[in-house]
Amino acid sequence: MTSKQRSYLMSLAAKLDPVVHVGKDGATPEVTASAEEAVKARELIKIDVLKNCVYDIREIAETIAERTRATVVTVIGRKIVLYRPNPDKKNRIELP
């Protein structure tokens, strides 16, 4: 992914609310399943890591991205943005 594409996706993600929340147990199978459903439906999702989570946020991002076959767009503070294109989706996000 180029920096221009990453920047474009970050600008789209700025308007999004988190749809997945990671709690104290980290990247559990339930969290991964929830992220999988969300990224399949939306292509671009924002994940919120709660303050009581003791795991490294970047490791959580990489783990969820690997399990959902998505790309980590950015990790800012306690927010993670993931992107995975869905060719079957009608209103697809077109990258520059």
Examine residue 91 and state whether it is found in any structural domain, yes or no: no
Q: Is 71 exposed, middle or buried (0-12, 13-18, 19+ CB in 10 A)?
A: middle
Residue 72's CATH number: 3.30.110.60
Residue 45 contacts residue 16 (beta carbons within 8 Å): yes
Examine residue 32 and state whether it is found in any structural domain, yes or no: yes
- Residue 15 pLDDT: 94
pTM of the predicted model as reported, rounded to 2 decimal places: 0.91
- Residue 1 pLDDT: 83
Examine residue 29 and state whether it is found in any structural domain, yes or no: yes
93: its two tokens: 């996000």
Examine residue 57 and state whether it is found in any structural domain, yes or no: yes
- Residue 82 pLDDT: 97
Taking the chain (96 residues) in runs of 10, the rounded mean pLDDT of each run is 93 95 93 94 94 94 96 95 86 81
Residue whose tokens read 């180029």: 2
Range of the domain at 45: 3-83
Q: What is the domain count for the chain?
A: 1
